[in-house]
Amino acid sequence: MSIPLGSRLAGPRLDLVVAAVLLGDTLISGAAVAVDGGLPWYGWPLLAVGPLMFPLWRRYTRTVMLVTVAALVAVGHLHVGPLAAVPALVAIAVSMYRGHRKLTVGLVGVVSAVTMLGNWSAADFRFTGAVMEQSMLVIGWLHVALISGESRRQRDAYMAEAEHTREEAVKRKAADERVRIARELHDSLTHSISVIRVQAGVALHLARKRGEEPAPALVAVEEAAKDATRELRETLTMLRDDEGHRLSRVKPLADRYRGLGFTIDVECEVDEAAVLDEEVDHAAYRIVQEALTNAVRHSDGDRVRVRVRRGDDALVVEVADNGRARDVKPGRGLTGMRERADALGGTLDVGPGEFGFTVTAHLPMPSSEPLIPVQAAARPGSPR
């Protein structure tokens, strides 16, 4: 399978190719002068130093430009021809492209003045047409290099901004589509679940009216219908309203597990005023939600501890229960949590901890702004 030329000539390889072309230009220029015996021995290293340093431009842009331009000035009196100036012009354009404006413009101004002064002195300080022609030719090409580098920099900046705008538009469209889908699901599923809830409630009411103990399965159906309705509404609310952090709702989330036989301690270092990446916020909230659900359903303990804190470079989410840490077969819940962490370049650790069975997620933090600590505790009533 053939590889496109553009993919082979990129980065350092492209730099080496450009350096070879520049070196060829300067050597040809020097050879033309050497044929007539007008090139001293030191002319060769001065002509070669600029092209040979060019591959270092990505790390030492300003140094490459200064050395290359200095070499050009040094060989100026040898009259080696216009090809010898190409490496310096390329270095000036690259320096402008990298954003070193003040240094580059200042250097071009100095070289322009030196060129004008040199040609003027060579003509016995008389302004002639030849002096102006030779000076303006060099000065013109120096300014062409300046303009070329700056225009390319602005073009790339414009393209990057356009790409960013396009990505934002795609994200907004995707968000709108998610809201529409969520609304449709909410309207359809909530209706069906509400029917189930009403039917179960009627059956429970009739059973209690007859003095009978309701069947546990019927009670479970009603509770599940309530939870499903509440979850659907919460999901739609979060999709519609992006203001505020989801993690600031961890305490209300813990309150939903009242009466299930667990004491839930919550300590969260995120509130509405904290600066936090939206994707990290969403993933962390869902991990806490799923881990709490797993603890309530599968743990044989009676206490859950939730910690959301900021590390050096990551948001750390820890949900631990004091039940026995048994061998766990990953189900949809653990798999979903791991996928959320992996999508952000983070990690998820599941297993025994000092408190008990522990789920710990490390989510990289793009923002370096400090978070404001907020502590809360949700303590349910006595176990059922």
The model's pLDDT over 13-32, given as tens digits with 9 standing for 90+, comes to 888 888 888 888 888 877 77
- Annotate 266-297 with b (16+ C-beta within 10 A) or e (fewer): bbbbbbeebebbeebbbbbbbbbbbbbebbbe
> Residue 68 pLDDT > 50, yes or no?
yes
Q: Dump pLDDT digits (tens) for 216-265.
A: 777 788 777 777 777 776 666 665 555 545 777 788 878 776 656 678 88
Share of the chain above pLDDT 70, in %: 83
Q: Which two tokens stand for residue 360?
A: 């710990």
Q: What is the DSSP letter of 260?
A: S
pLDDT at residue 131 greater than cutoff 80 = no
> In the predicted model, what is the mean pLDDT of residues 362-367?
79
Name which residue leads in pLDDT, 68 or 297. 68
Reported confidence tier of residue 85, pLDDT bands at 50, 70, 90: confident
pLDDT for residue 4 = 44
Domain layout of the chain by residue ranges: 5-167, 245-384
Q: CA-based angle 250:251:255, to the nearest 5?
A: 115
Q: Is the pLDDT reported for residue 179 higher than 80?
A: no
Is the CB of residue 274 less than 8 Å from the CB of residue 371?
yes
In the predicted model, is pLDDT for residue 369 greater than 80?
no
pLDDT tens string 317-343: 999 888 765 666 666 778 888 888 888
Asked if residue 358 lies in contact with residue 350, where contact means CB atoms within 8 angstroms, the answer is yes
Quote the mean pLDDT of the chain. 78
Residue 381's CB is within 10 A of a number of other CB atoms, namely: 10
Average pLDDT over residues 137-147: 87
Fold entry, domain 245-384 = Heat Shock Protein 90 (3.30.565)
Note whether 64 and 54 are within 8 A (CB).
yes
